[in-house]
Amino acid sequence: MSNPIYLALDVPRLRDAVALAEKVKAHVGGVKLGLEFFNAHGAHGVHMLAQIGLPIFLDLKLHDIPNTVAGAMQAIHVLEPAIVTIHACGGIAMMEDAKAAAGENTKVVGVTMLTSLDEQDLSRMGFPGTPHDYVMRLTEAAHTAGLDGVVCSGQEIKSVHDQWKDGYFVVPGLRPEGSEIGDQKRVVTPRQARDDGASVLVIGRPISRAEDPEAAARAIEATL
């Protein structure tokens, strides 16, 4: 079984990102490059990370009218990402067009609810119900639209997996036992998320900000 850990490389300097990925590459299964990285370093930065030989997860959270999202998806074909995120709340048509425009070997997953949000946040934005209800509604929409899977927190992954047996599920906001949760609100351990059905475990600060990132990545890998 391949390593499900994807290291979130949201560091400001490209050389630091490359050095960190090189340091931990034996203990992770891929690297996640988000908006901070992509806006700072663009396609050049993605190509530099790709040379390390790990799969690339572009966490761009695309969200716009269907035609624009399809065009953006086509524009990143050259980068050959293994995974790309879009917002599931963009609607069925947007998700359908995004998947149709994606590269043949790229998994398109829909972001349901950010792990920095909780029920109070949903209420303030005018969305009724619990985070679980909201995530399950968007998961059903993503499945209907033909996406490969969704992004959800570890608190919803078991229900999502039960509803969509063959889906591809990305779980961010993970924290090993004893770690600080920072700005995350709905967190679980990497092992729990994996046991509940996660395909990809996105882990950033517990590795990238550790005194010894390689040892931290190795320790997390050993729990899986």
| Catalytic site positions | 61
Q: How far apart are CA 98 and CA 196, in angstroms?
A: 28
* Helix residue ranges per DSSP H, 76-118: 92-101
Give the residues across from 91 on adjacent strands.
none
Give the separation between CA 144 and CA 53, rounded to whole angstroms: 33
Neighbours of 120 (CB within 10 A): 9
Q: Which residue type, as a one-letter code, is found at position 175? A: R
| CA separation, residue 160 to residues 135, 136, 137, 150 (Å) | 8, 7, 10, 9
Report residue 63 CA to chain centroid gap.
15
Element (H, E) at 3: none
22-33 burial: b if 16+ Cβ within 10 Å, else e: eebbebbbbbbb
